[in-house]
Amino acid sequence: MPRFAANLTMLFTELPFMERFAAARAAGFDSVEYLFPYPYPKEQLAHALQANGLKQVLHNLPAGDWEAGERGIACHPDRVAEFREGVARAIEYATALGCPQVNCLAGKLPAGVTREQAHATFVGNLSFAAAALKECGIRLLVEPINHFDIPGFFLTRTGEALAILDEVGSDNLFIQYDIYHAQRMEGELAATLQKHLARIGHIQLADNPGRNEPGTGEINYPWLFRHIDAIGYRGTIGCEYKPKTTTAEGLSWMKKETT
């Protein structure tokens, strides 16, 4: 069965962030991911990983002012310099943490900017980032996100992401396939995963509706996990969901899948 990575931004939120590494290990995870490492010193994060025998599998590029509601700046024509600075910072952290891939959030379409302008900016930024990250042995991911949770998000469907990959033309750019977002926008989870597996660098999960743990919604996760295993996915699956009660109580689904 697939291996699972604890998303420390979403899980164990009853604990201070730096204590979540030990909690993830105690819960049976051997891998973690989270949105942003940048508020913490690289050395502190690296120590937390090493001390708990954890591998970090993912973090995001800097994505603007998150607290103010920004969800990425990669499609913002007036912030290309900021984006490139963020790529350098992401490389610095990913290298220090042994993180093999980083995700780029496109962001919301800015006011006064046409989709054509945003598209050209996004493609240019991805081309730059994919090349810079490749030099350091780090893969670049790009993630479609549903427009119900984030209205105005620029990239919302798998087909759009595939077209972007084709346009960029880099062998170092892949899709981050979030099952929850894909279910909300398009469905066809099994067929899409199988058809485009070679272009999917990372998978994340949550059930729908509610974005809670597997088993709380409409997605047949036991079947889907078997399918993902059968088609040959060998990466981790990031558990990016909101526990319906507590993280520990909600992990019974994982114990069933890994025993």
- Active-site annotation, residues: 143, 240
DSSP letters, 42-99, are HHHHHHHHHHTT-EEEEEEPP-S-GGGT----TT-GGGHHHHHHHHHHHHHHHHHHT-
Helix (H, G, I), strand (E, B) or coil at 250: helix
CA 130 vs CA 21, 101, 112, 125, 145: distances in Å: 29, 11, 27, 8, 20
Those residues whose C-beta lies under 8 Å from the C-beta of residue 73, and which sit 6 or more positions away, are 62, 63, 64, 79, 82, 83, 86, 107
Runs of H (alpha helix) within 169-233:
179-185, 189-195, 221-230
**Between β-strands 3-7 and 236-239, what pairing exists: parallel, antiparallel or unpaired?**
parallel
At 120, list the tokens: 């050209």
Specify the residue for token string 């604990």.
15
HSE toward the beta carbon, residue 173, CA cutoff 13 A: 24
- Rounded distance between C-alpha atoms, residue 37 and residue 33, angstroms: 10
